A and B are shown apart, each in its own frame.
Chain A
Amino acid sequence: MAYVTKSPWVIHYDGSSCNGCDIEVLACLTPMYDVERFGIINTGNPKHADVFLVTGSVNEQNIPVIKQIYEQMPEPKVVVAVGICATSGGVFKDCYNTMGGIDTVIPVDVYVPGCAARPEAIIDGVVKGLGVLGEKKAGNYKAAVVQADEEEVEVQSFGETTDDTAVATDKEEV
């Protein structure tokens, strides 16, 4: 068994998010959700991290930052795109300054759509990411896209969820 799945340390980077998803990521650490019961710790240090949580879309200015954080993380590592902006660019997709989702810069393993992604969906995404971490450790990981459960995702916001999941499903087909 890979111990990496029992002690995933997370680093969180805000691409160009509106802070909606960031607040939800931090909400996971509160007594209400308490991700430390899974051994998850929020570190500020890429060299100690196993899971890279990115919120917000990518723009020209944060490409080198995202790349550098990703490269500083020792293997095995997993990238979780949190929120619809990190997944595909969301409503900012066609903006002149936006590149799109995180997968335009670094390989993403788990997409957690939502605006904002709810803490339950984020935890589910990270737990899905742990599966990928275990596979990567075992060495039989085939760059497959893992997506958070649709039931989980559908609970997440008020009416717009259908659009978000649709985008994410498109990704899976690609």
Chain B
Amino acid sequence: MEFNITPVMIVSALAYLVLGPVVGCLIAGIDRKITARMQGRFGPPILQPFYDVRKLLEKEPVTVNNGQDFFVMAMLIFMIITGCLFFIGENLLLVIFTLTTAAIFLVLAAYSSNSPYSQLGAERELLQMMAYEPAVLLIAVGLYMVKGSFNVSDIISGGPIAVLPLLGIFISYIFVLTMKLRKSPFDLSMSHHPHQELVKGVTTEISGRSLAAIEVSHWYENVFLLGFIFLFFANGSILWGVIGIVAILLLYFLEILIDNGYARVKWQLAFKWCWKITLICSGVNVIVLYFLKMYNLV
């Protein structure tokens, strides 16, 4: 596989590096505002996530061990690499594997302390990864079957609109998105809103600058995850580009609605639902697509 670095690639990688956290921070702020309005509250300022992170940077550094800081920084770096690879149009499988590596570093950071809350949070995080990873791989398989390439640049620049032949896979991506964005029915490893699940699950022992790094890597991650939705709509035309962006906004609103509409589930239920829904939807989708392709119907 040849690897040519073009100026466009460098510009997109730099744009993601700089604009990723800005957009992610604004998304998080708007998320909190909409959530507050849904609950009949006024809500914090849009820039509140930025204030939170700045405050965390100002706090006294308290770390339980040096390994933890290393793992958290590794998570942030791998998250940035994932996003950069995605936005420069690299191979989708490589993107998915670096994303998994980033998630694994978060689990290692949680496991590195002896706090039972942090350890339980790490176990739940691993279970969640086990629940959604097969679905994530099937998404890449489905996109390959429709577009004939694993390269993000090829997927967005041509070929048929992927969302219709991949409807089942799209539904399972929405499901995975709820887990990856840590939205309510599945925020069991690190609760975002009421802050009371296992104290704070994975991040219980992480404070100050390390917690800020986790927050920033979430911003990067959310931008990447929302950008992923675009793959289902892009075919190189401006019209479908606009439709893709509208779809991203609508889906994020749907995620906020789900977040506010559901109570947290137990890990058993999260695991069963995830495997049943994602594997049935995307499995059936891939099989149907296979036969359609066999008789040249797609």
Contact = CB atoms under 8 A, between A and B. Distances in A.
A50 B55 contact: yes
Interface in A1-30: 2-4, 6-7
B205 interface: yes
Given A42-B195, A44-B200, A50-B55, A34 B42 contact: yes
A45 B45 contact: no
A38 B36 CA distance: 13
A39 B52 contact: yes
**B-side interface size class:** 20 to 34
A47 interface: yes
Interface string A32-67: 001011110111110110100000000000000000
A12 to B, nearest CB: 11
B251 interface: no
Given A37-B44, A47-B62, A74 B200 contact: no
A43 B42 contact: no
A93 interface: no
A3 B42 contact: no
A74 B44 contact: no
Of A2, A34, A38, A76, most buried by chain B (CB within 10 Å of CB) is: A34
B211 A48 contact: yes
B204 A45 contact: yes
A75 interface: yes
Contact of A6 (B51, B196, B200, B205): B51
Interface in B8-43: 32, 36, 39-43
Contacts, number: 77
A37 B42 contact: yes
Contacts of B36: 34, 36-37
| Chain B interface SS verdict (over half) | loop
A37 B61 CA distance: 27
Contacts of B59: 4, 50, 74-76
Given A39-B44, A48-B207, A3 B200 contact: no
B52 A7 contact: yes
Nearest to B54: A3
Of B36, B48, B205, most buried by chain A (CB within 10 Å of CB) is: B48
Given A36-B43, A44-B200, A3 B58 contact: yes
Interface in B45-83: 45, 48, 51-52, 54-55, 57-62
13 contacts: A3-B58, A6-B54, A6-B55, A31-B39, A34-B36, A34-B42, A37-B43, A44-B196, A47-B62, A47-B204, A48-B195, A50-B55, A75-B60
Interface of A: 2-4, 6-7, 31, 34, 36-39, 41-45, 47-48, 50, 74-76, 137
